[in-house]
Every structure is written in C-alpha cells, then in structure tokens.
Amino acid sequence: MRILFWAMAILLAVTLIVWAISSLKQAQWAKSHPALGQFVMVEGKNLHYVKTGTGPPLIALHGAGGNLRDFTFSLTQKLAQDYTVYAFDRPAHGYSDIFNSNGETLADQARIITKAAQTLGIEHAIIMGYSFGGTVAMNMALDHPNFVDSMVLIAAPIHTWPDDWVSSTYRMAALPILGPVLMHTAFAVLPNSYFTNSYASVFTPQTAPTGFLDHVGVGLTVSPNRFVVNARQIVPMAAQIKAMIPRYHTLSMPIEIVHGTADKSVSSKYHTGDFMAMQSRPNVTATYVDGIGHGIHQLAQDEIISALKRLSK
C-alpha cells in the first residue's frame, strides 16, 4: 500500500512539474510573439486576424500548425498595394479560439471564416490558401460559392494520396487523454530548437528564409492544446477531401494553383496533378515550380503574385 502511495505521489509531482514548465514556456512564447491584429467574434468565439492594404478583399489562410505570421513575414506587405489582405488565424491556431476540442472539420472552418469575413463587412473575396488552408479554401468554394470570387491554392491537399497516410505524431497527438499528456510532456522537456528544426523541415530541399522561423513563432505552433486540436483536424482530413471530390465539377470560379515539384509533404503529383486530370478545367490554371518543396509560400512568392494578377484580369 505504501509503495502505491509513493508511486501516485511521484506521478502527481511529475505531472505538476510538467504542467508548470509547459505553462511557463507557453507564456514566454506569447510574450515574445503577441497577437498582431484584431479579433472578430463568430459563434461566441474569437477569431484573430490582421488587415492590411487597400483594394479588393483577399483572405489568406495558413497551413496546418501554422498561423497568420506565415503571411505577415513578407507576403502581405507585397500584396498590400493591390489588395486589402485579411490574414486569419484559423480556428485553434495562433490566437484564434478553439471552436471544437475534437477538431474543427473543413466545413466548420469554412463556415466560421466566411461568417467572420461577413461580420467584417466583406460580401465576397479572393481566397488564398496555403497547404491545409488551401483545403479549407476549397471547402469554402463548395459550401459558400457566392462568397468566393476566385482562389489561389498553394501546395494544397485537394485530392487523395496513397493509403491516406498521416504521420504517427499527429495520430498520437489526436488521441484522447494520451495526446494532451504527450504534447504537454514533449513541450516541457524538449528544447525549443527541436521544434524549430522540425518546422524548418517543411522547406526541404531548400531552407527557410533568414528571419522567418523567428518571426513565425514556432512555440505558437506546438502549444500543446492547440497542437492536439490541429492533429484532430488533420487525421480525418482525407475522408473529408474524398467527400468533396464528387462536388468539384460544380466549381465555376477562376482557380490558380501553385505547387512545388519537390514537395514531400503534399505531393504535387497526387494533389494538383490528379485534380487537374479529373476533367476539362478551363477555369483552372496550375503552375508547377521546379525543385521547390513545401515552403513554396515563402520561396515562390513571385509565382503566387503572378497567379493573383491573372485572377484580377
């Protein structure tokens, strides 16, 4: 009985220490990378966004585990002369609230972001989505076609891929009870450099632009509770994409796709290639950027800007 008591006491002490260190590190990241913009209330929750520039509205949606700083590093400044850019933290990312602890579906996110934009007085907009943000953009176009004027999809998962593979990290993080425990422990124990290096790997075979990893705030990305919900968004994503595919023929708005041929995270072959091969697509233009990996939103901005200009003609 005494052994059980001490085992429980040690477990409780370790849990409290891990929780305290995790909470302290989250506070430190929040202090060094504060919210950059404003908040709009949707369905009783807050969505964080940054507005910049003048011109027609352009909504920018970041990828899985990212935040709106993906765009404010350099791209929004380049677009601000031609567009009013609204960069959003998607639900459960950055400084936006968690809307569903079980993971917001693609349809949930499309609805929430559309409502947020409409609350801000936007009647219709160009949607620019990077990676998972492009998948959300696609759902917005399907579920809210009158709101979406046109789209730029950047390295976006929009079709099926072999075995619906999702990394074991996401699968474990998505688990009830165990997922949060693992993430709080990892966040408390592992050095910040581990998470920074992991985030930097999306740029393979290139490297991240100088200053980007400091700007984006990797600690915001791996904040335990948010990372768990992010994982719960990702794990069922393949099934949700499969459900969208039969509806793709209804898309009539102009669509530009920009994808790197060396992307190991979201294959240009299985996503952009298979999407383009489905049927005749006179309203869609695909630009393949040779040798560029998944960090294309930072490394091929000229191609992204050119795609937007084609939409504006």
In this prediction, residue 129 carries a pLDDT of: 98
* Long-range CB contacts for residues 307-310, cutoff 8 Å, separation at least 24: 307/152, 307/256, 307/257, 307/258, 308/58, 308/79, 308/82, 308/83, 308/126, 308/128, 308/152, 308/256, 310/254, 310/256, 310/285
Confidence at residue 3, expressed as pLDDT on a 0 to 100 scale: 76
Q: Domain locations in the chain?
A: 35-312
CATH superfamily, domain at 35-312: Alpha/Beta hydrolase fold, catalytic domain (3.40.50.1820)
Nearest to 132 by CA among 300, 20, 297: 297
Beta bridge partners, 284, equal 255
Backbone angles phi, psi at 91, to 5 degrees: -50, 135
Q: Residues 6 or more apart from 168 whose CB is under 8 A from it?
A: none
Instruction: Kindly compute the dihedral angle of the four CA atoms of residues 232, 245, 270, 91, in this order, to the nearest 10 degrees.
Output: -30
Q: Does residue 278 surpass a pLDDT of 90?
A: no
* Residue 286 structure tokens: 């695909």
Q: Is the pLDDT of residue 6 over 90?
A: no
Neighbours of 245 (CB within 10 A): 15
Average pLDDT over residues 280-286: 87
**Nearest residue to 277 via CA among 301, 257, 295:** 257
* CA atoms of 2 and 17, how far apart (whole Å): 22
In this prediction, residue 200 carries a pLDDT of 93
The model's pLDDT over 55-75, given as tens digits with 9 standing for 90+, comes to: 999 999 999 989 999 999 999
* φ and ψ at residue 33, rounded to 5 degrees: -135, 75
Average pLDDT over residues 184-194: 88
Beta carbons of 216 and 73 less than 8 angstroms apart: yes
Out of 57-71, 123-137, 203-217, 267-281, which region has the weakest mean confidence (pLDDT)? Answer: 267-281
- Predicted model pTM: 0.94
Q: Give me the mean pLDDT over the 147-160 stretch.
A: 97
